[in-house]
């Protein structure tokens, strides 16, 4: 091929790359003919997009960082020829369309590899195309003023700038949903749960009632409730009240009847609590799904409101990105429509719907500018609080129970292989040490087949990890994704579940960091409070809001302030393959940053918890200000 042809192809490649990036797309999708199937295996707004093309019985795999290769492939087959149309839609921007702003008189924690501090930062904004907004430079104010003489100067007045916080494991959509149902967080008795339900229903009457947030460990009698009183209060509508971790629920008689749950009903990977041979209304893990299937789905209006409320809350506490750990594909499509500013990395649940959606392409356009698919979520076990976490040895407070295995070993084998084949990181919920052991056993067993396709796979929670398994994080490149506020929430009763010796292997964040070399920090909100500063203080001081215990819970596993900040920024970005674009304040990265009134690196416990967000910026755009 002649040089001029290569230059032409490269030019077309760059043009199409620009167009697709501007449109938030990384694929040109043609109508599928009977013999063709085009499936996107993983796509991020700036990442590698791998496509698998099938023609009759033959398979052609093309993996490229450019959208031009599949277009050429399809064009050669005579399926599409969209270049003129795409060129027609190409917007025209010039340097005069941009604005440069220098933020100065600040202490700027870049969180780069050297943890460098600066006093000024220059960013460029394109009003007509905010996707191009980025950091131009960091440094000293005089040098930046000389370099950009026409820049607007923004005096931060001695405040502190950090990279935008990233919650590495949360339930972004769940937070919005929780704002539309009965809030049971912080209830001190079962009677208070009932009272809140009555009060809510009096002003929000409907054909069902949902609530979430109760925790029997916070009550004087630390036992599961029964539904007799709930049945008297709500005899005619189904009621579902989820435990704070979402792994258990109390439901009334009406809900049990609609779901077909009765004496003798069995569910794999779940438990129906009985008393005198009859269901008490308490359902654990997969048993909860039986009831949720018969609860009406949210309307688009409700979903839109949930997304808007969740985004508003997140940006107000300094979150610029959130990793939503487990969503149905239908919900992901709808969230993408309603997102405004915050970056959401969504983990689709590994379900039949997800596989069908994958195999049928992404027929609904997803805005890959704001919403990114981040691997696949699968549950191996349940939660420690509801005794669903799968342990190697029995529970110390229930010698007959080892917890729950939510999926069989054979099911997990198929999921591991599928994720490796299509390039999706497998993000597995593992709270018990047995669940983590199963995860690593599957990797060891399937390694010859998985080969190099294990890239940035994660263990979500890694709450109880046997010391003999710690070295496997580094060996297989697995990222521990943990939630420090779980430690300060569970510390009151964790030893009861695990015993004095085994509890030392729980919430061991320093040990995990040493083993893996990186640790991603999140909150699991709405299970915990959404505020990332509570993540920071729990990781560093390992105390609750009342500064208990005085010397910290298992303080030997505390993180340093720098490690905690990295875990909430650059390491969290790394865990979702976004470290090239966000997570630190460096040239050519997105201008995702927050301004605080407090120097977190030199503040006390109370000062950190009470620090205030002055402003939240996503791609240079101010999306929140106090």
Give the closest residue to 436 by CA, choosing from 491, 500, 351, 506: 506
CA 613 to chain centre: 22
Output the average pLDDT for the chain. Answer: 85
DSSP sequence for 334-349: HHHHH--SSEEEEEEB
Query: Mean per-residue pLDDT for 152-177?
Result: 97
Q: 244 pLDDT exceeds 80?
A: yes
- What is the rounded distance in angstroms from the CA atom of residue 52 to the CA atom of residue 361? 10
Say if residues 182 and 194 touch (Cβ distance below 8 Å): no
What HEC string does 530-581 produce? CCHHHHHHHHHCCCCCCCCCCCCCCHHHCCCHHHHHHHCCHHHHHHCCCCCC
Q: Kindly indicate the confidence band of residue 205, based on its pLDDT and cuts at 50, 70 and 90.
A: confident
Q: Kindly indicate the confidence band of residue 2, based on its pLDDT and cuts at 50, 70 and 90.
A: very low
- What is the rounded distance in angstroms from the CA atom of residue 477 to the CA atom of residue 461? 16
Residue-wise burial string across 367-376, b where 16 or more C-beta atoms lie within 10 A, e elsewhere = bbbbbbbbbb
Q: 552 pLDDT exceeds 60?
A: yes
Query: Mean per-residue pLDDT for 290-298?
Result: 90
34-77 per-position pLDDT tens digit: 222 223 333 333 333 333 323 233 332 333 333 444 444 444 44
How many Cβ atoms are within 10 Å of 508's Cβ, its own excluded? 24
- What is the rounded distance in angstroms from the CA atom of residue 126 to the CA atom of residue 134? 9
Sheet-wide strand order for 371-373: 165-170, 319-327, 343-348, 371-373
Looking at domain 313-546+553-590, its CATH class is alpha beta
The Cα angle at residue 477 between residues 471 and 483, in degrees rounded to 5: 80
151 or 453, which is more confident: 151
- What is the rounded distance in angstroms from the CA atom of residue 325 to the CA atom of residue 241? 21
How many Cβ atoms are within 10 Å of 445's Cβ, its own excluded? 13
* pLDDT for the residue numbered 356: 75
Q: 160 pLDDT exceeds 90?
A: yes
- What is the rounded distance in angstroms from the CA atom of residue 122 to the CA atom of residue 345? 27
Query: Mean per-residue pLDDT for 499-527?
Result: 97
- What is the rounded distance in angstroms from the CA atom of residue 37 to the CA atom of residue 39? 6
* Residue 472 CB-density burial (10 A; 0-12 exposed, 13-18 middle, 19+ buried): buried
- What is the rounded distance in angstroms from the CA atom of residue 379 to the CA atom of residue 41? 21
330-355 per-position pLDDT tens digit: 899 889 989 999 999 999 999 877 88
* pLDDT for the residue numbered 353: 76
76-90 per-position pLDDT tens digit: 444 344 444 444 444
Say if residues 307 and 426 touch (Cβ distance below 8 Å): no
358-410 per-position pLDDT tens digit: 765 544 445 467 898 878 999 999 999 999 999 999 999 999 999 999 999 99
| Sign of the torsion angle spanned by Cα atoms 247, 253, 254, 260 | positive
Residues β-bridged to residue 521: 482
* pLDDT for the residue numbered 12: 54
Query: Mean per-residue pLDDT for 461-487?
Result: 97
Helices (H) and strands (E) in the chain, counts: 22, 26
Query: Mean per-residue pLDDT for 585-604?
Result: 98
Q: Which two tokens stand for residue 214?
A: 């109760």
- End-to-end, the C-alpha distance of the chain in Å comes to 59
* pLDDT for the residue numbered 355: 81
Q: 295 pLDDT exceeds 50?
A: yes
Say if residues 584 and 570 touch (Cβ distance below 8 Å): yes
Q: Phi/psi zone of residue 270: left (φ > 0), alpha (ψ -120 to 50 degrees), beta?
A: beta
Range with the lowest mean pLDDT among 74-88, 176-190, 408-422, 472-486?
A: 74-88
* Domain spanning 172-292: CATH 3.10.310.70: yes
* pLDDT for the residue numbered 96: 55
Q: Kindly indicate the confidence band of residue 15, based on its pLDDT and cuts at 50, 70 and 90.
A: low
* Residue the block writes with tokens 């999708």: 29
User: What backbone torsions phi and psi does residue 592 show, to the nearest 5 degrees?
Assistant: -95, 110
Q: Kindly indicate the confidence band of residue 446, based on its pLDDT and cuts at 50, 70 and 90.
A: confident
* Residue 84 CB-density burial (10 A; 0-12 exposed, 13-18 middle, 19+ buried): exposed
Q: Kindly indicate the confidence band of residue 523, based on its pLDDT and cuts at 50, 70 and 90.
A: very high
Query: Mean per-residue pLDDT for 579-583?
Result: 96
Say if residues 424 and 376 touch (Cβ distance below 8 Å): yes
423 or 248, which is more confident: 248
* Residue the block writes with tokens 């529970």: 395
* pLDDT for the residue numbered 452: 66
* Residue 392 CB-density burial (10 A; 0-12 exposed, 13-18 middle, 19+ buried): middle
User: What backbone torsions phi and psi does residue 398 show, to the nearest 5 degrees?
Assistant: -160, 80
- What is the rounded distance in angstroms from the CA atom of residue 393 to the CA atom of residue 390? 9
Identity of the highest mean pLDDT range in 8-17, 144-153, 198-207, 242-251: 144-153
- Ordered by start, the domain boundaries in the chain are 3-88, 172-292, 313-546+553-590
Question: Global pTM?
Answer: 0.81
SS3 label, residue 411: helix
Give the closest residue to 82 by CA, choosing from 92, 68, 66: 68
Q: Phi/psi zone of residue 416: left (φ > 0), alpha (ψ -120 to 50 degrees), beta?
A: alpha
SS3 label, residue 60: strand
Say if residues 233 and 205 touch (Cβ distance below 8 Å): no
Say if residues 459 and 480 touch (Cβ distance below 8 Å): yes
Give the closest residue to 138 by CA, choosing from 616, 565, 585: 585
Q: Kindly indicate the confidence band of residue 453, based on its pLDDT and cuts at 50, 70 and 90.
A: low
């Amino acid at each position: 091929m002649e040089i001029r042809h290569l230059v032409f192809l490269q030019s077309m490649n760059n043009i199409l790359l620009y167009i697709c990036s501007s449109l938030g797309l990384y694929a040109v999708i043609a109508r599928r003919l009977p013999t063709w199937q085009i499936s996107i295996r993983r796509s991020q707004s700036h990442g590698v997009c791998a496509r698998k093309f099938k023609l009759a019985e033959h398979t052609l795999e093309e993996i490229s960082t450019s959208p031009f290769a599949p277009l050429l492939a399809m064009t050669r087959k005579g399926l599409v020829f969209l270049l003129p149309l795409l060129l027609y839609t190409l917007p025209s921007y010039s340097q005069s369309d941009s604005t440069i702003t220098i933020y100065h008189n600040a202490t700027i924690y870049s969180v780069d590899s050297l943890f460098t501090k600066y006093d000024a930062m220059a960013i460029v904004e394109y009003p007509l195309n905010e996707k191009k907004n980025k950091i131009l430079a960091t440094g000293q104010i005089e040098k930046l003023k000389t370099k950009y003489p026409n820049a607007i100067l923004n005096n931060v007045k001695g405040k502190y700038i950090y990279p935008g916080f990233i919650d590495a494991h949360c339930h972004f959509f769940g937070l919005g949903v929780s704002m539309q149902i009965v809030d049971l967080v912080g209830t001190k008795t079962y009677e208070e749960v009932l009272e809140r339900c009555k009060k809510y229903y009096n002003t929000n009457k409907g054909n069902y009632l949902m609530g979430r947030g109760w925790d029997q460990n916070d009550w004087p009698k630390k036992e599961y409730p029964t539904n007799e009183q709930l049945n008297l209060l709500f005899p005619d509508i189904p009621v579902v009240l989820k435990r704070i971790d979402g792994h258990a629920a109390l439901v009334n008689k009406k809900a049990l009847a609609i779901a077909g749950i009765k004496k003798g009903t069995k569910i794999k990977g779940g438990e129906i609590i009985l008393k005198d041979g009859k269901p008490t209304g308490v359902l654990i893990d997969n048993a909860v799904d039986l009831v949720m299937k018969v609860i009406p789905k949210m309307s688009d209006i409700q979903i839109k409101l949930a997304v808007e409320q969740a985004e508003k809350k997140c940006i107000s506490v300094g979150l610029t990105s959130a990793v939503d750990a487990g969503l149905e594909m239908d919900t992901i499509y709808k969230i993408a429509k309603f997102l405004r500013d915050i970056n959401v990395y969504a983990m689709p649940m590994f379900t039949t719907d997800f596989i069908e959606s994958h195999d049928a392409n992404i027929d609904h356009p997803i805005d890959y500018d704001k919403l990114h698919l981040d691997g696949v979520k699968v549950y191996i076990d349940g939660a420690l609080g509801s005794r669903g976490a799968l342990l190697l040895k029995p529970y110390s407070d229930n010698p007959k129970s080892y917890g729950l295995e939510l999926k069989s070993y054979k099911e997990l084998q198929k999921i591991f292989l599928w994720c490796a084949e299509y390039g999706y990181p497998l993000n597995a919920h593992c709270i018990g040490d047995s669940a983590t052991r199963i995860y690593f056993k599957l990797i060891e067993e399937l390694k010859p087949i998985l080969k190099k396709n294990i890239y940035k796979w994660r263990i979500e929670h890694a709450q109880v990890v046997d010391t003999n398994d710690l070295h496997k994080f580094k060996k297989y490149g697995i990222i521990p994704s943990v939630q420090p506020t779980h430690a300060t929430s569970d510390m009151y009763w964790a030893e009861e579940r695990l015993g004095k010796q085994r509890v030392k292997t729980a919430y061991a964040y320093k040990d995990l960091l040493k083993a893996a070399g990186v640790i991603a920090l999140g909150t699991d909100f709405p299970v915990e409070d959404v505020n990332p500063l509570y993540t920071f203080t729990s990781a560093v001081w390992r105390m609750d809001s009342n500064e208990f215990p005085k010397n910290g819970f298992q303080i030997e596993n505390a993180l340093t302030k720098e490690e905690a900040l990295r875990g909430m920024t650059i390491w969290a970005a790394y865990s979702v393959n976004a470290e090239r674009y966000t997570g630190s304040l460096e040239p050519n990265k997105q201008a995702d940053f927050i301004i605080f009134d407090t120097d977190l690196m030199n503040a006390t416990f109370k000062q950190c918890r009470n620090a205030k967000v002055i402003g939240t910026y996503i791609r240079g755009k101010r999306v929140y200000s106090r």
